[in-house]
Amino acid sequence: MNLNDLRKSPLFQGLSDQEIQQLMDMAEPITLRAGEVLMKQGEPGDSAYVVIKGGFEIQKQTGQSLIKIDVRNPGDVVGEMALLSHAPRSATVIAVADSETLRIPKEAFEKLLASSSSATMAVLQWVMARLSQNEALLHQQEKMAALGTLSAGLAHELNNPAAAAQRSASELNKSLLKWQLLGHQLEVRALQENQTVWLDNLMTEASHRFAAPVKLEALEKIDLVDELQGWLEANRVESAWELAPAMVNFGWSVESLEKLKSSTLFDVSIQWLGTGCLVMGLLSEIQQTTERLSQIVRAMKSYTYLDQAPLLEVDVHEGLENTLVIMQHKLKQGVTVKREYSADLPRIEAYASELNQVWTNIIDNAIDAMNGKGEIVLRTYTQDKHVIVEITDNGPGIPDDIRPRIFEPFFTTKPPGHGTGLGLHISHDIIANRHHGQLLVESKPGRTTFKAILPARIKGEEQHEQ
């Protein structure tokens, strides 16, 4: 080993022959075979090493992951940052081939820096270059971490609309076959009973209604559904609970259906109408859920500009009801929903799709907490110029030691593969940061309530967007 071996390193290129010789006199040659560890993460940084021959891989343990972050070749120095900062080793260095290094102890470095200004400047320049390199590496790691977070969040956000679309398509297949069969039966009976004109009029009216579904306020729709369901049950119509909501969506009411009772085709015509409404409703659901998937994909393309999404005048009840539609496949397995909506709840200024994301996350967690069976209460009211939305379930509750952490990113009590730990973190961010509100939780066995406090107007939003 000679002076030229050390001069291969940029760290020592500015030193005189005398200064390099001084380092060599205090240094110790170290030989390692492939696979042997030169330095171990966490150990004291009491020396630096110059790679003379061979090569090394730098590995960093982060949580359960072992990440390869860099390599070192002849002329490179390893361990100097921990030595200069008196810090523990931040990574492990392993020989990838039979290698030779020169170990420079702490005392040699300190003596060199104390006796030579040129050596101090050379080391300073090296440290600045290494810090720039580390900063670039950190930026890249942050980008990769953000990508990982985004990917996990994307999977979480795509899950509900994708599952809903799949469920709606499956239901549509069955309902469409039933509708076709009922249509055939209705036509045959109409011919047999000489009621083809009556049937033509019914189908014409039905086609007009199918083409133009009605938009109703949430409370109004609930009242109409209850009224129509009671009428269908009184007339011994099968599956009245399922047909009533679908028929109300397309403008059918007790008054508009009463005229069908005068016909001998009432039983089959009411089933044909109801099933047709189910079919059209399922088609609408598929359209809505696939549009939601498209929205998410579009959002990913312009992720950094999401805060420029338009503010809308939002009917909170409508958002909650839409969420219940999306979650219907999980709710109908054994969850009842009780609504305690305020009749005079004002519309609020909000990012509508993001609020729906909050309701979806909270209701989905409530269903899971109750193992798919229990009661969810949706309550809305106003207080101090704010709109309050409370979502309560009668599940086992959140343990006291867990409750303070539920809004932390990646914190989840669900088993691997069943939760990312991002849902409540994202929900809290949407309420607190996007809408300048609060998301609170109270829990005890048998009663867990998530309380969203939303301002009627998002104050200072224009300044925020600038």
Q: How far is CA 348 from CA 313, 342, 354, 358, 458, in A?
A: 5, 14, 13, 15, 9
pLDDT 10s digits, 3-55: 676 776 766 766 777 877 877 888 888 999 999 999 998 898 888 888 889 99
Give the rounded percent of residues in the chain with a pLDDT score beyond 90.
36
Q: What is the pTM of this model?
A: 0.43
Fold of 306-465: Heat Shock Protein 90 (3.30.565)
Across the range 181-201, mean pLDDT stands at 92
Across the range 202-215, mean pLDDT stands at 90
User: Of the segments 146-160, 322-336, 392-406, which one has the largest average pLDDT value?
Assistant: 392-406
Confidence band (pLDDT; 50, 70, 90) for 420?
A: very low
Distance from C-alpha of 131 to C-alpha of 204, rounded to nearest angstrom: 76
Across the range 323-338, mean pLDDT stands at 81
Across the range 409-438, mean pLDDT stands at 70
Instruction: Determine whether 298 is exposed, middle or buried from the number of CB atoms within 10 Å of its CB (0-12, 13-18, 19+).
Output: exposed
pLDDT at res. 45: 86
pLDDT at res. 234: 93
Confidence band (pLDDT; 50, 70, 90) for 276?
A: very high
pLDDT at res. 417: 42
Task: Answer yes or no: is pLDDT of 306 > 60.
Answer: no
Q: Which tops the pLDDT comparison, 115 or 201? A: 201
Confidence band (pLDDT; 50, 70, 90) for 419?
A: very low
Confidence band (pLDDT; 50, 70, 90) for 114?
A: confident
Distance from C-alpha of 416 to C-alpha of 203, rounded to nearest angstrom: 52
Residue 462 corresponds to which tokens in the numbers above? 């224009």
All structural domains of the chain with their residue ranges: 3-115, 162-285, 306-465
* Closest of 343, 347, 359 to residue 311, by C-alpha: 347
Confidence band (pLDDT; 50, 70, 90) for 273?
A: very high
Q: For domain 3-115, say whether CATH 2.60.120.10 is its number.
A: yes
Q: Which tops the pLDDT comparison, 301 or 209? A: 209
Element (H, E) at 374: strand 374-383
pLDDT at res. 454: 95
Task: Answer yes or no: is pLDDT of 466 > 60.
Answer: no
Confidence band (pLDDT; 50, 70, 90) for 219?
A: confident
Q: For 309, which DSSP code?
A: S
Q: Which tops the pLDDT comparison, 205 or 459? A: 205
> How far is residue 147 CA from its own chain's centroid?
12
Distance from C-alpha of 30 to C-alpha of 49, rounded to nearest angstrom: 9
* Closest of 421, 415, 419, 373 to residue 393, by C-alpha: 373
pLDDT at res. 307: 41
